[in-house]
Amino acid sequence: MVAFIARGAVPFATREADTTGVVTTSRLFSADVQQTLDLIGIFVFALSGGLLAVRKNLDIFGIAVLAEATALGGGLIRDVIIGAVPPAAFENRGYFLTPLVAAAVVFFLHPEVARINNAVQTLDALGLGLFCVTGTAKAHDYGLGAVAAVALGMVTAAGGGVIRDLLVGELPPSLLRWDRSLYAVPALVGGAITALLIAAHHLGALTGTCAALVAFTVRMLSLRYEWRAPRAWHRGSSSSGEGEE
């Protein structure tokens, strides 16, 4: 989960080269506002990683590793794929240190953090909405087409959770389990809206926020009503290695 490449607030996205020569389309928020939003999202993602580490009975190092992986893993994957190296997570000290702060909070206060799980899930959904928009925009800025940019927007928002689950042997990762509420789908929805806004030259602070809020709303509704993605058609009549349903 890394920063918006946006550095100035303008009504709509512009297309101009930054100091690295990359054409940017996502000048949505001021640097201070974007940094604050990023750090909040990173902190909340790191909390979820730290809580899983506690449930798996890991030590303080394991808690820190899972917090870092959950918070930064998706953005790292995206940046490596698009060639944005070194990744923003290593260029901005705040991005790297924030998960360690979250790890310390979980280490000392994990019962209290677990008790406010609903609030954590709500903030996590907001982070999901933010990062699927920023991830899609950054991938587009590095020359990817709409489909690939949306896919990397989803990776930015959800990839850290997959890395977290793999590190502790949670197979399949929660992102791929049919019995978990939708997570990747809301990110794909937000990313798709972002790609359409970019194509229409209307990605800006207001429209980008709306795209993030749509993803947030879909995620919260999926939690409230336990929405799940469908499994294979007529699965109950096939030989799948599991019992009939």
CB of 36 closer than 8 Å to CB of 138: no
Q: Which residues contact 46 (CB under 8 A, 6 or more apart)?
A: 67, 68, 70, 71, 98, 99, 101, 102, 103
CB of 208 closer than 8 Å to CB of 132: no
pLDDT, tens digit (0-9, with 9 covering 90-100), for 123-180: 999 999 999 999 999 999 999 999 999 999 999 999 999 999 999 999 889 888 888 9
Tokens found for residue 86: 């070194």
Residue 235 DSSP one-character state = G
pLDDT, tens digit (0-9, with 9 covering 90-100), for 207-243: 999 999 999 999 999 999 999 988 888 776 444 444 4
CB of 212 closer than 8 Å to CB of 193: no
- Assess whether the previous peptide bond of 86 is cis (omega < 30° from 0): yes
How sure is the predictor about 190, in pLDDT bands with cuts at 50, 70 and 90? very high
Q: Over the Cα atoms of the chain, what is R_g?
A: 18
Cross-strand pairs, 23: 17
70-74, 168-172, 199-203: least confident range: 168-172
